[in-house]
Homo-oligomer: A and B are copies of this chain.
């Protein structure tokens, strides 16, 4: 199956907003075996929307739009598409009732008048429920082809895609061709892109026709294997063989697949093994705590943390002796160890992570340049400590430090209780 995307919004056309929706749609559709043939962006302008959707229908017979459904945009997309299909807008009383109920639930009381128009749908359209927002998705088919209208708010678009659109398209596409494009992503951290490329030299030939892409970010390097336009079973088998070929070379820097999050993995390992976690953060300023508490259910293992930004707080809240800071400096192995021990004792946890570093742009010295970070992790009395100098901006250094802190505890959690493995320290 093949279709076109039309993304709508002046802010996209003007370049004020990056078009993440187009990428999100394309990736989700490829997984469902649907090929995106063309992508068009137009402004919030009825004539431009109508022209783009009409041309897309003529070429491909199927169009997905995003944007132009909000109450302040006059529902410009809905009206333009209804025009193409010659379909009148009618009030969907069921949806209106649901909207009113939800506004009551928010404690806002009466629904603003401007939201009422969102319950008007083109005659014959299927309403796709949107619990993440107020504009429903709409699915309209007729002699000209099919149009799926989705809201432009990324969270709502993603929700509707997963819950409503992809499952229906998957069924439809599978029936027609049976060919899909599938990927698997192996996540690594602690090794650079060029080091990984050297490690995996020659592997591209061995896994052909799969392709291998390196996707570096401050969190590490993701490796994406892709099977292009294969039968579904064939793609699954080829990807499994490709992963088996690559994994042995990755060692402990591989931590999981897909969109797995390192913080979620650490929480999961802790929940299975029992110890509770506390964190002591200096240069990351709360980022590790924030990542951990982003995971639903973190409260089962995470008791809390201390953001010890000033040296006074390192002393008062974590019991780091002032003499230690004076002798070694706040960014040092000794202070990282003392922070990890202090936070575990003070907050009553068996596991802890501590980070202290120079995030920059100021504060670097020849001995401790910007990017210098000391990390410590403790687990039931065992300990790992690492010193690193991370490249990049203040933001990058902080992201890398938070990831490295979580990774240090992960390595403690997955190692047997013996000595450290031969992994690069």
Which residues on A are within 8 Å of B, measured CB to CB? 10-20, 22-28, 30, 36-43, 48, 52, 55, 70-72, 105-108, 112-115, 132, 153, 155, 181, 183, 192-195, 197-198, 211, 213-216, 224, 226, 279, 281, 283-290, 292-294, 296-299, 302-310, 312-313, 316-317, 346-348, 359-362, 369, 389, 391-396, 398
Distance between Cα atoms of A292 and B183 in the complex (Å): 38
A244, chain B: closest CB distance, angstroms: 21
Q: Which residues of B contact A71 (CB under 8 A)?
A: 193-194, 197
Q: Which residues of B contact A114 (CB under 8 A)?
A: 194, 197-198
List 28 A-B residue pairs with CB atoms under 8 Å apart, sorted by A's residue number: A12-B23, A13-B36, A13-B37, A13-B38, A16-B183, A16-B213, A17-B23, A37-B48, A39-B42, A40-B40, A71-B193, A71-B197, A72-B213, A72-B214, A112-B198, A153-B216, A283-B293, A285-B294, A286-B286, A286-B287, A293-B309, A296-B360, A296-B362, A298-B309, A302-B309, A304-B307, A306-B306, A312-B348
Query: By the criterion CB–CB under 8 Å, are B16 and A19 in contact?
Result: no
A53, chain B: closest CB distance, angstroms: 13
Distance between Cα atoms of A29 and B313 in the complex (Å): 46
Distance between Cα atoms of A14 and B346 in the complex (Å): 49
Distance between Cα atoms of A131 and B299 in the complex (Å): 41
Distance between Cα atoms of A356 and B296 in the complex (Å): 16
Distance between Cα atoms of A285 and B211 in the complex (Å): 40
